[in-house]
Structure 1
């Protein structure tokens, strides 16, 4: 198929991967015959990919700028970027995606059948100057067709990513000797040594897909990562002794014999579940010019046979928890891969506030710092785009969400305890428990709860000018009281969180009322506490039971200030 093509581009988060999206506009033509939309020849797609590869070649050579119309500023900027020393140093990989409404088929047999096509890698050899040194490198060019077959597979998999299959023999021309350490009915384990070039090549080719089931993001070159980089620089031969290595999971392994030894050929559903920091550190050290040729890394490969997806996730969590010794992995880290949290992350990435901003949900520990580092010179812009007041972590999410409820004593416990309570509520499969729907309405109300909680922290204050010394207890207790007298009161009224979302703040009248309520709550915690350690006793359910329906609270909710706020800030269900 020929026809017209439209092209758009993006760059991945770690900035080393340029992504070109070619739209096959001829496939969008309603007059195109059905048989023309069934593509059986790989060459039909190859012709379109060649146009993109030619575009890249001419851009690098600098012969394309004058041929592009001045009105096409985006394309001219892209060409200038590709042709610049900065761009040539930045990009290690170019992914070309062909978006088409064709179906890739095979005509062999009695009926037409859908099929996949695999495209060989291309390499673009480039030269540039860095610190007065001439550098030559190969930019890897990857090609993929996004056709109707692909879309059907996505729908059928219900959003799950396609398992990642690594063929070491084909992609890296390496024989990797392995020793089998275990072989059980549903489980096998292998030990091997990987050259750093293989690890760097894996990250270059597959980027963060390698680490999807990893419990943490790459946490900059500090702490353990700084040590990894320093070892590569000064003692590369001793790297294998100093580093804990990688732990890999897979659902299938192809192991072949050769000269009385066993060699790893391929792994299906490949994931690095421990050693993600090592992997990324090796790649970025190599990108910065460090020699990794003498670096070797121990790897343990765990192959789960005939394991369901949920069981595989549990296995990975256990492997991460028990095998990780480089730095502590918390239960919050382990649960960060929850499907519900992934959905919430997608919402935070896409939903814009009424004033035109986005919030950043840090689903995995260190995610924002990773993003800032990978942004390079744009790191400061990213910090301005997402200031601290518009970011929240997993544990903060649990605290803010749970404070608007009937368990402020659990919120006071904080940390992993409130996160565990939150995630169990979120993923509860009990019939008596109403399923929480993570959608746009949930997200907007969540942001409203965060704004409300953080404004109350400012109202309460800290130090000499604060309302007291019990802020961590007073705020969740106050919000929970407000919740049970509105949303949970059975009156048919709910607190108008939508208004806070739209205004992205709370007005002076509500601020004054919350201050009044917090001053009272400060005294009630002291009055009804059975211990002189008020902060510690506020973690007990007995205190909450004593306070939520006490006379002082009931009297406050009969006052004109409460009635005025409820008239203004409640809506009918």
Structure 2
């Protein structure tokens, strides 16, 4: 069985219809919303801001844009244009059509730099923000990437599209049709594959030595020397997609160009090899040619830089900004060829990345989908039923996606009837992603300016917070926490809907208005009802938002909208203004008095505290059960081997050894829950000292 592209397209079109209905917008903008969410999670786009505009330029040229994402890491300006038919019949996008559509976007960029469009587009609209962004960054942008999204299929005749320039800056065209979206959703890696033909950059390929003693069944490693020019060329072409996600999010918070590296490139390029730490990378399916003068790597698939992102970006930046000549620069590269099984390779990449980046603190938060927090949320979401509402006879679940695409992949191997049952129990609207969690939780925590900085930045902030909270005490991340997070997601979606139907709403800044309104709602409730909080549990119980809250949201969202678009704001660009703490300070100061009716949705802190205590206790029981299960599964013989290892290496305390002795007598004797937690700790210690788990 499994899901094929036809199923995917059908699901996709259904999804667009229901999204359009719930957010109350046209199908085309729902299509853009859903497609760009896929592209964000596949790391094709760093984030996305909708900014729909359609008009005519000089000589009656047609102009159109649907949205944008500026990658401030590699200075690529991504612009999106949509071609949505919405018909059940499959449409084929022809080459001539594609070029016509791209032209509208191309002309839009050109006209943005003139005065006519600049004056015509209404101020304080997403499109005027985009024009302003293009104009102010004109000298920083290094590449325009134009993405055409279509719900049809691309004609086979379109293999390449002509490349163009705008004022000497290259313009790259990409068509994302249904097939390409499908591939990226179901590629095991959850991102597009990067394939590199090294001969195109260096002639023979990359000279390498196999580190023969270092190879195992999981990987083979090579030591290589790559010319600086080739590394910069590859980076210029692929941009920040070349950098493993964690490395990129780590670097984007630091200075993109390292002063020392830049100085070496400019002043003593021939010393670069000696001074620089080089690059670590991973790839699959290497092709190696044996020539007379040694081995050369000529091709790599899914090439990812895991350490040395700063070196790579600095070479490209110095060549671009300082017009540096890189011909004398060579970089050492450790290239590890890994297994193409995604589960194996994912862990291996993470571990290489974590170890090789330990000299600059990349927190565990970055390696986050395997963080125990997510694993726990996933476990809770698979066992917890949501209350049945509105006369439905069956309970449903909220499906937490720890790794991208889990929801679709769960259905891949199902028969038609299994799939129907799965979808009835896990409706699409009850799909939760990690980024949803981060968005609603950070809004509630009162940092909407961080939420406004885009999905990746916000997620990193949330991840770091979770990481530190988790290490203080993990039992507060329990069923109650999960239920309240779902309640916040329900509140968030409801607020989106409220905003869409307000008379003042003009199709812009909805994401900003929503995060700010939710942060403000929480702040107002806390200050006007001291010692009390909004009862999120009641939203979970009803699976909807009480009218009392809706009435306040109608007032709050209007004030938020007026404040963020206030002509007296500090930054002209509204989208940029919302990213600043100063904007939140201004919104926070607004005086809004909540209605007395609001008492109905408020709960005493003491009540919350006792419910939390209960939930922590339950979580502890669950954690103990999980620990006991693991200990029993590992079995007495294995615990005997651990005991021998621990005694030989003198690694444990008397109570630890006592617990181990009990474990060797399973099932005659059973360790208690405290001992089980202890045993798992001992196993961890043993492994870090070289014990091999069988």
Distance 1:350 1:394, change over 3 A: closer
Distance 1:195 1:251, change over 3 A: same
Distance 1:287 1:570, change over 3 A: farther
Do the aligned partners of 1:175 and 1:263 also contact (CA within 8 Å) in 2?
A: yes
* 1:317 alignment counterpart: 350
Distance 1:175 1:442, change over 3 A: farther
User: Is 1:45 matched with 2:98?
Assistant: yes
- Describe the superposition over 1:371-415 as per-residue Cα deviations: whole angstroms up to 9, x where unpaired: 7xxxxxxxxxxxxxx9xxx99554432444x5xxxxxxx62xxxx
* 2:671 alignment counterpart: none
SS at 1:282 equivalent: helix
Distance 1:87 1:398, change over 3 A: closer
Distance (Å, rounded) in 2 between the aligned partners of 1:290 and 1:240: 20
User: Is 1:23 matched with 2:82?
Assistant: yes
User: Is 1:179 matched with 2:224?
Assistant: no
User: Is 1:7 matched with 2:65?
Assistant: yes
Distance (Å, rounded) in 2 between the aligned partners of 1:22 and 1:273: 32
Do the aligned partners of 1:361 and 1:392 also contact (CA within 8 Å) in 2?
A: no
Do the aligned partners of 1:232 and 1:290 also contact (CA within 8 Å) in 2?
A: no
Indicate which of 513, 516, 531 corresponds to 1:510: 531
User: Is 1:344 matched with 2:434?
Assistant: yes
SS at 2:334 equivalent: strand
User: Is 1:304 matched with 2:338?
Assistant: yes
User: Is 1:202 matched with 2:244?
Assistant: no
User: Is 1:441 matched with 2:486?
Assistant: yes
- Describe the superposition over 1:470-508 as per-residue Cα deviations: whole angstroms up to 9, x where unpaired: xxxxxxxxxxxxxxxxxxxxxxxxxxx999847464667
TM-score, normalised to structure 2, is 0.46
SS at 2:448 equivalent: coil
Distance 1:155 1:393, change over 3 A: closer
* 2:591 alignment counterpart: none
Please state how far the C-alpha of 1:188 moved relative to its aligned partner. 2.3
Distance (Å, rounded) in 1 between the aligned partners of 2:338 and 2:483: 31
Distance (Å, rounded) in 2 between the aligned partners of 1:316 and 1:284: 26
Do the aligned partners of 1:167 and 1:267 also contact (CA within 8 Å) in 2?
A: yes
Do the aligned partners of 2:218 and 2:338 also contact (CA within 8 Å) in 1?
A: yes
Distance (Å, rounded) in 1 between the aligned partners of 2:231 and 2:483: 36
Indicate which of 312, 318, 324 corresponds to 1:279: 312
Please state how far the C-alpha of 1:271 moved relative to its aligned partner. 1.0
Do the aligned partners of 1:196 and 1:292 also contact (CA within 8 Å) in 2?
A: no
Indicate which of 190, 193, 196 corresponds to 1:163: 193
> Which runs of 5 or more structure 2 residues have no equivalent in the other structure?
1-60, 375-401, 405-432, 493-517, 534-602, 616-694
SS at 1:255 equivalent: strand
Distance (Å, rounded) in 2 between the aligned partners of 1:223 and 1:51: 33
Distance (Å, rounded) in 2 between the aligned partners of 1:309 and 1:212: 15
Distance (Å, rounded) in 2 between the aligned partners of 1:569 and 1:59: 55
- Describe the superposition over 1:85-109 as per-residue Cα deviations: whole angstroms up to 9, x where unpaired: x543111111111111212365xxx
Distance 1:315 1:567, change over 3 A: closer
SS at 1:300 equivalent: strand
Indicate which of 124, 127, 130 corresponds to 2:165: 124
Distance (Å, rounded) in 2 between the aligned partners of 1:169 and 1:324: 29
SS at 1:269 equivalent: strand
Aligned residues: 394
- Pairs within 5 Å for 1:387-536: 392=461, 394-400=463-469, 402=470, 411=472, 440-441=485-486, 501=522, 503=524, 505=526, 509-510=530-531
TM-score, normalised to structure 1, is 0.55
The CA RMSD measured in Å over matched residues stands at 5.1
